[in-house]
Chain A
Amino acid sequence: MQSEALPEPLIIEAGHAQRHYWRDLWRYREIFWFLARRDILVRYKQTAIGAFWAVLQPLATMLVFVLVFSVLAKFPSEGVPYPILVYCAMLPWQFFAGALGESSNSLVVNANLISKVYFPRLIIPTSAIVPSLVDLAIAAVILVGLMAWYDFWPDWRVITLPFFIAIAMAAALGAGLWFTALNVKYRDFRYIVPFVVQFGLYVSPVGFSTAVVPERWRPLYSLNPMVGVIEGFRWALLGGQASLDLRGLLMSVALIAVLLASGVLYFRRTERTFADVI
């Protein structure tokens, strides 16, 4: 028995939970992986076509967008096959939408964990994002297929892709933290999130390229943090054809940083009462 060399006691006091939070987060990191694993394993269980769902959604939306924006509205494609132009934006958008939805619901879905065990709650919305990453990887296979079909390959810039994925993750987590914490108290956010996602699809340059947005609307337009991410994806994947608006990107990154930081703060502030309210 290790009776001498007693570890320092754990103190439970009002407002004290704060002190060892980040250390605890590290200590409980395995829960993160197990929750993420659970969500991935469960995601397509008992579905007839399984992981094909991860492909079907962006593919079908892409086809509709090509039909509407390219075939009917005849939007310019900047020398890129229109399906690839759309699908390059579809990937980060679907990832963002999926991750935001999952993390926003994560606390309520895991209510029984929250009321029965202790671990830093931040793990829950964070791990909820991981399955969307897997979906992103699966959906990316279609992009490779499309590129092979059109024989259109990205250049060296493709290595910057992880950076843009990271920004999309931060955006989803930032908004997700806000929504999931608010959702614990006000279940209204269950209805708000799908609305935000649906609305966002039309105000983000998914079906069209930013080139069609009139210059005078650009500042307002780049307030949407996903604009920078989508532009970045196109820039990284479409080679010389796409241009990157550096100022817009920086603005996106700054906005997302603020969103994430405030999300973490709000989450931490309300976290203590989750078990009492949920």
Chain B
Amino acid sequence: MPAPAAIRVRDLSKAYTIGHQPLRRYSTLRDELASRTAAAARSLLGRSRAEESAAREQFWALQDVSFDLEPGKRLGVIGRNGAGKSTLLKVLSRITEPTRGRAEIRGRVASLLEVGTGFHPELTGRENIFLNGAILGMSRNEIRTRFDDIVAFAEVERFLDTPVKHYSSGMYVRLAFAVAAFLEPDILIIDEVLAVGDAEFQRRCLGKMRDVAGHGRTILFVSHNMAAVAALCTHAMFLDKGRCVRFGPAKDVTQAYLLETAGEAGREARYVAPEGRVRDGVALVHALVRGAGGDGAGTIGVGEPFEVEIAYRLTRSKRGVRAGFRIETAEGVVVCGANDGAVSETLAREPGLHRSRCRVHGAPLNSGPYYVTVGIDEPPYSTALFLESNCLRFEVQDLQGYGTSFSRPPGVIRPNTEWEASEQE
């Protein structure tokens, strides 16, 4: 007999009334009285209620989401901002009620929607450990037995009796995570907690999460870090506008998500020059960066090849017209640059549309955003006819993850490294 699902969700839906949430959450009596009076006046005047309800439209943050998660499985929930990820976690954590549908949860649940919920700045580290532990559902005894481990993990021994308002933000986050890390629930619900803390700490958090996962615990994890989801989770769910559009093995779903979102970022990775700018018989038409996702795919996996394409129009036949580009980091560090090497001063080109494509084979770019400056020049190549600064932007994404931390290693380049460890004799 297969084990019953740890989490079983059927047609789970949550509606918010627009104008109530998230635009206007709490109101004042005055507003309410005013709108009720207006409504009463309208009904006296015989206007229909339909108008009323049209004005208070419903917004479905979550729509008919169904899935089963077996015990010990780890589900990553991914999607754009506002896709309903947090709403799903809030419903499953019982913070808010669903509008329709049903969920069944077997086992003790702990949800971590925020690091350090309930921490009070005036209280000491010690006091906050107990308070936060209780809020997360630990009993006083459980906290007491794990107290030393929590303190050691957070590395705050010396500051235990200092109010946390004097802590550095790093210490604060470490302490908050440490309390959560020593929860021992059957089901753990986590929202983006990894988005905080320094790289070293993130590495340890992920390590701890993997420990937790290794102990057969069921995990529900919302993250924007595709590498972490792909590596930590067995399954992933892609939410889009409140609906589950894909559910399956984590690697497949994250891949699909990257491909889909790549299309959107593509707008940024294609530059169309304003028309009518002809300089010395040359007009820049467009420039784009093309990755695995096709035309103008703004997202490129680490180490994946990509193409830079520059198109220009000649209004008359010319010699030696040359296109080039330069790639910079967001901080303005020039990473590399290339000019169309096939062009010589004497190469003649006919009037019409020309396309120069530069294929970049396995550039070891580190993950992050990059900006491309595109230019066109002609002999004697001393000044450019066109120089479009940072007109293209693309993003290098880390899908495989680096080492044990999945955090971005330092530097501009990310060579393909291979470590070998041997014992010295």
Contacts and interface: CB of A to CB of B under 8 A. Distances in A.
A6 interface: yes
Interface stretch (B50-58, B127-135, B238-246, B371-379): B127-135
Interface stretch (B35-43, B96-104, B283-291): B96-104
Given A13-B103, A117-B117, A117-B135, 13 more contacts: A3-B3, A7-B107, A9-B4, A9-B104, A9-B106, A10-B106, A14-B101, A33-B134, A113-B117, A116-B117, A118-B93, A188-B28, A276-B25
Contact of A7 (B94, B106, B131): B106
B94 A30 contact: no
Contact of A45 (B92, B102, B122, B216): B122
Interface string A128-161: 0000000000000000000000000000000000
Interface string B4-44: 10001000000010001100011111101000000000000
A116 B114 contact: yes
A80 interface: no
Given A45-B122, A276-B16, A30 B139 contact: yes
Nearest to B22: A276
B135 A10 contact: no
Place the interface of chain B in its size category: 35 or more
Given A185-B26, A277-B25, A12 B91 contact: yes
Interface in B83-122: 90-107, 109, 111, 113-114, 117-118, 120, 122
B127 A118 contact: no
Contacts of A35: 131
A75 B217 CA distance: 72
B140 interface: yes
A163 interface: no
B383 to A, nearest CB: 58
A42 interface: yes
B21 A275 contact: no
B3 to A, nearest CB: 7
A33 B123 CA distance: 15
Contacts of A277: 20-21, 25-26
B136 A14 contact: no
Given A184-B26, A277-B21, A17 B111 contact: no
Contact of A10 (B4, B104, B139): B104
Nearest to A119: B135
A16 B103 CA distance: 11
Contacts, number: 125
Interface size on A, as a range, is 35 or more
25 contacts: A7-B106, A12-B104, A14-B97, A14-B98, A14-B99, A17-B94, A28-B137, A34-B130, A34-B134, A41-B122, A41-B127, A42-B122, A112-B114, A112-B118, A115-B90, A116-B95, A116-B113, A117-B113, A119-B135, A185-B26, A188-B28, A273-B97, A275-B96, A276-B96, A278-B26
Contacts of A10: 94, 104-106, 109
A272 interface: yes
Nearest to A33: B134
A67 interface: no
Interface in A161-206: 184-188
A38 interface: yes
Q: Give me the 5 closest cross-chain CB pairs, A-B, nearest first.
A: A118-B94, A12-B103, A34-B134, A9-B104, A10-B105
B94 A187 contact: no
A275 B123 contact: no
A203 B278 CA distance: 86
Nearest to B103: A12
Nearest to B134: A34
Nearest to A16: B97
Interface in A1-43: 1, 3, 6-7, 9-17, 28, 30-31, 33-35, 37-38, 41-42
